Amino acid sequence: MKSAILKIYGDIGENTCEGPFCEGPKSISSKAVSEWIEENSDADEYIVRINSRGGDVQEGWAIHDLLVSSGKKIRTVGEGKIYSIATIIFLAGVEREIMKNADGLIHNPFIPPYTLADQYEAGDLEKIAESLKQEEAKILNFYAERTGTEKERLADYMSRDTKLSAEDMLTLGFATKIIEPIVAFAYMNLKNDFEMNEKLFFEKLGSTLDSAVLKFKNLSRLEPENQTLTDVDGKELKLEKTEGDPAVGDIASPDGEYKMSNGKVVVVSDGKITEIREAEESELEQAKKQIAELTEQLENVKKETEKALVAEASFRKKETEAKALIEELSSLKNSWQPETRTNVGSSEKIGDLNISRVRELREKLLNAKTE
């Protein structure tokens, strides 16, 4: 697969600065991107590397649309800054990778202060406000569609000019993967390539320092979303942790007892979970256990009864055979009439009596008694 790399480094928009005295990276426009696409039309994949603080909204949308409509596989890589309208271009990628130490920034669209130097009437300002609202809704809808994050949550972050870490970008669905740099060098660029209002600078300083501290701790700069659990009676339990089951010591509210769907009872007192009682067996469950125990006993009784019946049948069979032998011996005894006494012990037959048969019957009878 042949790839072509497009670098969006610097502001997004038309280049207005020309000559040897222009400092910093030049802006990149939709016209420049269109020409780049024509020059690299034989590529199968476009890799768009982004390090931009944003810029012109319309130019950003145009670059996004040019990339998506190119018919190529788009992979975007966030490096350093993915701010403002640059996030729209970043979302053009099917695969959206972000460097571990890169940042995103989302906010509501605004009119730069220098464009308000002219005089405006009330009607003009109303038109400007309406235009901003429409653009805000457009960006919000696009964010929600591409990231899968709820509009309400995104709108809240946009209204507060929220800076997002790489982990935040992944969590919110802007990025699909965080990539580790092989070698990383940390430095601060002390020379800004854009003007900043002093008042705005000091207003932002506090939140910037807080963000820096959180970044060094490798923590998210988003406020954690607490859990809201509903018990079997419909009561809501607010749990101040993002995931996991309730545990003793967790901060929770309001105070009270909550019977959860798993049968456990969560007890909240003074804003904390003080006890979790295990599920109690219901009368139905107890009855089921008793039935199971009785069923097992019945099966054991059946097995013992079957053994007894087999033993009894065997005994009856042997008893019948013994009776038959006794009857046969008795009949032999009653029918015997000795003809002479001289041949007793030397002959197997005395008169009509078969001595061998008598011995055989006697042996069978003895065996039957011993079994």
CATH code where residue 155 lies: 3.90.226.10
Residue in this structure with the two tokens 């696009």, named with its chain if needed: 142
The SS3 of residue 281 is coil
| Co-location of 101 and 179 in the same domain | yes
| Co-location of 17 and 154 in the same domain | yes
Residue 242 is predicted with a pLDDT of 76
Domain boundary at 216, 238, 253, which?
216
Question: Residue 288: inside a domain, yes or no?
Answer: no
Closest C-alpha to 158, from 110, 214, 206, 207: 110
| Total count of domains within the chain | 3
Question: Residue 286: inside a domain, yes or no?
Answer: no
Spatial separation of the C-alpha atoms in residues 175 and 294, rounded to whole Å: 60
Domain boundary at 197, 216, 235, which?
216
What are 187-233's pLDDT values in tens digits? 455 444 444 444 454 445 454 444 444 444 444 666 666 788 999 88
Inter-residue contact 322 to 368 (CB < 8 Å): yes
Domain boundary at 167, 194, 216, which?
216
Closest C-alpha to 105, from 49, 176, 157, 173: 157
Q: What residues pair up with 251 in beta bridges, in sequence order?
A: 272
Farthest CA pair distance, the chain: 161
Please give the residue range of the domain that contains residue 250.
227-277
**Is pTM beyond 0.75 here?**
no
What are 248-287's pLDDT values in tens digits? 988 999 999 999 888 889 999 999 999 998 877 666 777 7
| Co-location of 314 and 336 in the same domain | yes
| Co-location of 260 and 335 in the same domain | no
| Co-location of 245 and 306 in the same domain | no
| Co-location of 105 and 188 in the same domain | yes
| Co-location of 118 and 181 in the same domain | yes
User: Is the N-terminal amide bond of 254 cis, ω within 30° of 0?
Assistant: yes
Question: Residue 284: inside a domain, yes or no?
Answer: no
Question: Residue 356: inside a domain, yes or no?
Answer: yes
| Co-location of 180 and 89 in the same domain | yes
| Co-location of 313 and 335 in the same domain | yes
Residue 211 is predicted with a pLDDT of 47
